[in-house]
Structure 1
């Protein structure tokens, strides 16, 4: 029970809060502003019944407003509404029959109503205004400031006008219902289109953050005013929360709400319940108490109020096997309808599809991590060698797991010589990387501690590949670097690999073509040959794999010419900077890239 402004007890009328009646009232799309059609009804009542005040009064759960009015005193005429404390028409809604009072001051039900003094309501006659189902939305009323004996003819005229006024209300409701049906049909079509395209949309990326962003932007505002997407770790703890709102001006509040929610979910929160049970939770009419009850951070409540909190729906994001790996929460503000069973079915479908996408993304991330660990374990740490500067880089093929068959190696012999190698095993997957690891280890095991020329070491490598056997075909360059006086003496053997490039300190870049030889792993390998040169101080030797020059849309010769152009002036650059420049130019290539550069000091 509440009190009016004078402290008098006000008994609530249950009929005023009937949801169906309030829905019909909302569908009239009328408010406390003048409407010409209803102002005309008020004027007719005033003229035909000869009363100073006539109103088309519609009654909500907490006020009455007048889309049609004539003769109201100020300030009520400008406001076009009053609180229920000043309402006679609420009693027409309650009793659902006409209420006729010759002198309101004599009737216990209304004699203390402040409208008698504030609005001058003494004589009152109100006829129900109804929707198609007979629910009373308000009244068409005639008011006099002095006692009045209403005649049967006046009441009949008022009833006829109320019937016509009700017809106008029903027409407004019908038009709005038809418009709502049209909007719902369009919304259903848009939802079906969204669901039809969601698998492709989410399947187009293996990045979890991108998938979450696409999902959120697809749902808002189509399914809700704003939404939250919560993902959990293997222990079931919220790992990330992302928020999306239809209004760009609310982006900061949404982001803040999502950030707080990641650590601010209490044990009684709805999202935790969904994550724990795997069952959805829907509130067609919600209150901020839902947020307050489930949050540990008090800042979440005012944020939710600013974002709009009238109804909400939370569904699980389910992975294979039905395990909840997250939750989607849809929220509507008070001005948008509450969520219904259709919304629930759509959201559950979204949760299932999102679960597949997130599950695939996580599986890819796990495989990618394993591949990265494997690849980096196979990329050696370059040694420190007096008189030699070394730099190396590895770039995996674009859009593939970061592992492949390209490799490089450099190690110091017991006699102080440096052995440098680079190679390429066919393939861009885990199997290629595993084979590459075997080949690299064969090179190390065969060359370490031996003073044999590089061509003989390459011949031993051919025999080992055939005899063990190692199921591969590969290219490689093996070089031995020995300090000279001054500079470095280099001998190398090429097994079908792109030739090394020489970047002199004071001359043009040139390819050390010579004899490229044939691939490693052939049934009948040829006799291997070696080549030699001397690097003067400042000269640079570049070993690289063909991913640096090959592209499907052009001949390899063009790629080699482009590479040599990129190396022009490279002798003046720090070796690491030169390598980085080459990798930047190789971005988004179709093949792995490995390179090893050495410079005489």
Structure 2
């Protein structure tokens, strides 16, 4: 490791010289993190990192000149200040601080940068990925990382989510420092307030970034199927919410589409969303019955004491020479809609039990078929419970309900999947005048008409 190069050079002991930089150490001291105990706001983020990446361990640490101070290591019981620290060279955390950027290792024993490192054995490091925690003036003061006991390839979405979470930690600390400055220095209250407002704005942007990281950036193409999804954020303050969707290959000719809505907002909702997506992807290849997969998700939520319940609709299907066929299951979710090629719309699905509340749930698979030109439409309740703007003109109906949604879908006769979503989104916007009371997710699966 002594041969590693860092932007600021190395000390005589081979560690990054920036560890001893006075400005960095002053920023670390100002953060108030050295010697502080665990807090739920940080533990929520590390648990979320584990849920999203599937890693065994996630940690938030703060790196001093000679010691590394642990802030959040949820898999370990808190043992007090003396127990929750170690020599700075006895973990990988200084790598990201020294590099002032991400440090990613897929095989710690074989990577020349880390081979033989003293932390591999005690921490069980097979693979490691970490991003620096940065103060408001740009000083790297700590690290947020995930660890796996076996070598692995980190997916781009894993690293993207970890980067967002590290920025969330940085924003939380900057906000605390700013608010502390405002309380103790009345003379600079105006400047501190502006800094706090900037940190709050950053937190909102991070909330939306985290929301986006829990949704697939693009849908995977399904052979002989036209698929499109659209996410419509609610108006007002930006928070992480629980609407999610996914479309992925299950096995053989079978594909799975899922739409879900976690109760509540914030980090707790994001944790349940991550658990749901991970579990559904893991189990859909083993069980082609959506009811079985959703039942297994309920079991996982109960076993992990998920802090929120959710509703979901899952369709497992395959394309055929005459269209597509499959099975669909509702777990407390609004019914799916099928728009036939001639514009007729019908509801499908037997409303089942929502997930995460009871050990035993009632879930039923319903078979469906799509002919050329037919479209399957999945949505969250923002599309069938939209309300008008509080200060807007009175609409023709008190709520944009399932009947209104079915009519909007019928009006998309002949449209592609993407155009269908856009039309429904436009109908909702026209109804509420641009003021959306709830986030909404839309997913359309259309069998292209025959030439």
Q: TM-score, normalised by structure 2?
A: 0.53
Give yes or no for contact 2:287–2:293 (8 Å, CA) kept in 1.
no
Q: Note closer, same or farther for the CA distance 1:491–1:526 as it changes in structure 2 (3 Å cut).
A: same
> What is the aligned length?
259
Q: CA deviation at 1:510?
A: 2.1
Give yes or no for contact 1:549–1:556 (8 Å, CA) kept in 2.
no
Q: Note closer, same or farther for the CA distance 1:414–1:582 as it changes in structure 2 (3 Å cut).
A: same
2:297 corresponds to 1:453 = no
Q: Note closer, same or farther for the CA distance 1:419–1:322 as it changes in structure 2 (3 Å cut).
A: closer
Whole-Å separation in 2 of the counterparts to 1:499 and 1:556? 21
Alignment of 1:516-555 (within 5 A): 516-551=351-386
Whole-Å separation in 1 of the counterparts to 2:281 and 2:446? 22
Q: Which one has the largest radius of gyration?
A: 1
Whole-Å separation in 2 of the counterparts to 1:467 and 1:234? 42
Give yes or no for contact 1:542–1:597 (8 Å, CA) kept in 2.
yes
1:472 is paired with a residue whose SS is: coil
Give yes or no for contact 1:505–1:538 (8 Å, CA) kept in 2.
yes
Aligned to 1:321: 181
Whole-Å separation in 1 of the counterparts to 2:398 and 2:282? 33
2:251 is paired with a residue whose SS is: coil
Give yes or no for contact 1:515–1:529 (8 Å, CA) kept in 2.
yes
Alignment of 1:170-249 (within 5 A): 234=137
Q: CA deviation at 1:563?
A: 1.4
2:345 corresponds to 1:485 = no
Alignment of 1:87-166 (within 5 A): none
2:437 corresponds to 1:590 = yes
Q: CA deviation at 1:459?
A: 1.8
Give the alignment partner of residue 559 of structure 1, picking from 388, 392, 401: 401
2:317 corresponds to 1:499 = no
Q: Note closer, same or farther for the CA distance 1:421–1:322 as it changes in structure 2 (3 Å cut).
A: closer
Give yes or no for contact 1:551–1:559 (8 Å, CA) kept in 2.
yes
Q: TM-score, normalised by structure 1?
A: 0.40
- RMSD over equivalenced CA pairs, Å: 2.7
List structure 1 runs of 4+ shifted beyond 4 angstroms. 552-558
Give the alignment partner of residue 571 of structure 1, picking from 406, 413, 418: 413
Q: CA deviation at 1:234?
A: 4.9
Alignment of 1:167-566 (within 5 A): 234=137, 321=181, 352-353=189-190, 355=191, 357-380=193-216, 381-447=218-284, 449-512=285-348, 514-551=349-386, 558-566=400-408
Q: CA deviation at 1:525?
A: 2.5
**Unaligned 5+ runs, structure 1:** 1-232, 236-317, 324-347
Q: CA deviation at 1:418?
A: 1.0
Q: CA deviation at 1:552?
A: 5.4
Whole-Å separation in 1 of the counterparts to 2:387 and 2:360? 29
Give yes or no for contact 1:396–1:404 (8 Å, CA) kept in 2.
no
Give yes or no for contact 1:483–1:489 (8 Å, CA) kept in 2.
yes
**Unaligned 5+ runs, structure 2:** 1-135, 139-177, 389-394
1:376 is paired with a residue whose SS is: helix
Q: CA deviation at 1:440?
A: 1.3
Higher normalized contact order (CA 8 Å, seq sep 6+, divided by chain length) = 2
Q: CA deviation at 1:557?
A: 7.1
Whole-Å separation in 1 of the counterparts to 2:304 and 2:269? 17
Whole-Å separation in 2 of the counterparts to 1:394 and 1:561? 21
Give yes or no for contact 2:262–2:309 (8 Å, CA) kept in 1.
yes
Deviates more, 1:523-532 or 1:408-417: 523-532
Q: Note closer, same or farther for the CA distance 1:556–1:480 as it changes in structure 2 (3 Å cut).
A: farther
Aligned to 1:81: none
Whole-Å separation in 1 of the counterparts to 2:240 and 2:215? 11
Whole-Å separation in 1 of the counterparts to 2:226 and 2:318? 13
Give yes or no for contact 1:391–1:579 (8 Å, CA) kept in 2.
yes
Aligned to 2:173: none
Q: CA deviation at 1:590?
A: 1.3
Give the alignment partner of residue 599 of structure 1, picking from 423, 446, 449: 446
Give yes or no for contact 1:401–1:429 (8 Å, CA) kept in 2.
no
Q: CA deviation at 1:583?
A: 2.4
